[in-house]
Amino acid sequence: MNSAERKALKARAHALDPIVHLGEKGLTEAVIAEIGRALATHELLKVRAGGLDRDEREAAFAEICTKLDAQLVQHIGKVLVIYRKRPDPTPA
């Protein structure tokens, strides 16, 4: 992703509210699955990690991007903006 694409995604994400919230239990398989479903629907979403400290947030965000083949757009405080391009529907 180049800087112009990242800038456009940041602008799109500005008006979004966090869809997924990470709690004290952190990043579970159920949460990863939910983020995957949300990315399949929305492509671009915010995740809030209010219950985690800084190091735990960094590790969780890296794991999300790795497991879901997503890209980090922006990380501000406890909010992560991630993007995964929706696959093109295959023609019949």
Structure token pair of residue 76: 């501000």
pLDDT category at 23 given cuts 50, 70, 90 is confident
pLDDT category at 52 given cuts 50, 70, 90 is confident
As a whole number of Å, the end-to-end CA separation of the chain is 30
Domain total of the chain? 1
Residue range 24-52: average pLDDT?
90
To which residue do tokens 């190091």 refer? 55
Determine, yes or no, domain membership for 18: yes
Q: Do residues 64 and 82 lie in contact, with contact meaning Cβ atoms separated by under 8 Å?
A: yes
This prediction's pTM:
0.84
CATH number of 78's domain? 3.30.110.60
Determine, yes or no, domain membership for 38: yes
| pLDDT of the residue at 56 | 86
Determine, yes or no, domain membership for 29: yes
List the domain range (segments joined by +) for residue 21: 3-83
| pLDDT of the residue at 51 | 80
Determine, yes or no, domain membership for 89: no
Determine, yes or no, domain membership for 88: no
